[in-house]
């Protein structure tokens, strides 16, 4: 079993006795598993199961293993999973820097914490955005800051729910290069929900196509 991998071992999720999805997959660090399929096929349900937010209406068999730990029944707050959605969901009443400080684990003086955030921004050439109000950022900048915020909480895996779909084609390409590059640098397995095959191709992803249940 590879260290740092996300393993979905014979994971079967059912609703009212009908199997919605049945998956057996291993996502290595830095690798992307692209989950595709029509509306209602279970893409969000799969992310909910991995992050620990599966509704009790579903039954779930099999195991979810992250970095060697069986997290199938672990509390969501202890799973160390970073989530990113189509909407960047930055706090509008805080500056970019404050948004990032919020995600930084506790510890250190205010000055040390601010320096850490600035260092992270510099590393990705976004230092000029620190003092800005998130609502004044472009869509692509907001997405990049949202990813930085997720990474500051030191997740062991990233779950991305159509994070590029609100961006226009050119920006989409740049933002996904940024996202997949940082996932690789941080050795994070990624599960990506997308309707766009180009996202999967850009990530050199393993692809799972969920079935239509209608
Ligand atoms: N809390 C719930 N209770 C009952 N049924 C649910 C619940 N959440 C989702 N479902 C059903 O489970 C099935 C899968 O839903 P899910 O949201 O995972 O699909 P999806 O592939 O993410 O769809 P979309 O692309 O439209 O977001 C659907 O039939 C949906 O109606």
Centre of ligand 1 to C-alpha 14, Å, is 11
Could you give the 3-state DSSP secondary structure of residue 143?
Answer: helix
127-163 per-position pLDDT tens digit: 999 999 999 998 889 989 999 999 998 999 999 999 8
Q: Does the interface predicted TM-score (ipTM) exceed 0.90?
A: yes
Ligand 1 near 15 CB (within 6 A): yes
Kindly report the pTM of this predicted structure.
0.92
**Backbone conformation region of residue 83, classed left if phi is above 0, alpha if psi is from -120 to 50, else beta:** beta
Best CA proximity match to 28, nearest among 209, 203, 213: 203
**Which atom of ligand 1 approaches the CA of 41 most closely?**
21
Task: Give Cα separations from 10 to 7, 56, 83, 169 (angstroms).
Answer: 9, 19, 23, 36
1-80+155-214 to CATH, choices 3.30.360.10, 3.40.50.300, 3.40.1280.10, 3.40.50.720? 3.40.50.300
Phi, psi of 186 (to 5 degrees): -90, 5
pLDDT digits (tens, 9 = 90+) for 29-71: 999 999 999 999 999 999 999 999 999 999 999 999 999 999 9
Q: Is the CB of 194 under 6 A from ligand 1?
A: no
In the chain, domain spans: 1-80+155-214, 92-153
Q: Which atom of ligand 1 is nearest to the CA of 213?
A: 29
Does ligand 1 have an atom closer than 6 angstroms to the CB of 39?
A: yes
Query: What pLDDT shows up at residue 208?
Result: 96
């Amino acid at each position: 079993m590879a260290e740092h991998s996300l393993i979905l071992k014979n994971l079967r999720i059912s609703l009212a006795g009908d199997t919605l999805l049945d998956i057996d997959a291993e996502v290595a660090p830095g690798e992307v598993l692209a989950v595709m399929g029509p509306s209602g096929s279970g893409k969000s349900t799969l992310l909910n199961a991995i992050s620990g937010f599966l509704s009790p209406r579903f039954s779930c068999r099999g195991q979810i293993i992250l970095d060697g730990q069986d997290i199938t029944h672990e509390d969501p707050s202890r799973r160390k999973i970073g989530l990113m959605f189509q909407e960047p969901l930055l706090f509008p009443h805080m500056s970019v820097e404050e948004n990032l400080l919020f995600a930084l684990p506790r510890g250190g003086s205010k000055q040390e914490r601010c320096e850490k955030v600035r260092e992270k921004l510099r590393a990705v050439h976004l230092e000029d955005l620190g003092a800005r109000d998130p609502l004044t950022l472009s869509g692509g900048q907001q997405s990049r800051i949202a990813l930085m915020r997720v990474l500051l909480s030191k997740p062991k895996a990233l779950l991305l729910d159509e994070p590029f779909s609100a961006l226009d084609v050119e920006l989409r390409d740049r933002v996904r290069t940024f996202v997949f590059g940082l996932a690789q640098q941080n050795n994070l397995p990624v599960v990506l929900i997308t309707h766009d095959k180009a996202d999967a191709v850009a990530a050199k992803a393993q692809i799972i196509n969920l079935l239509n249940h209608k």
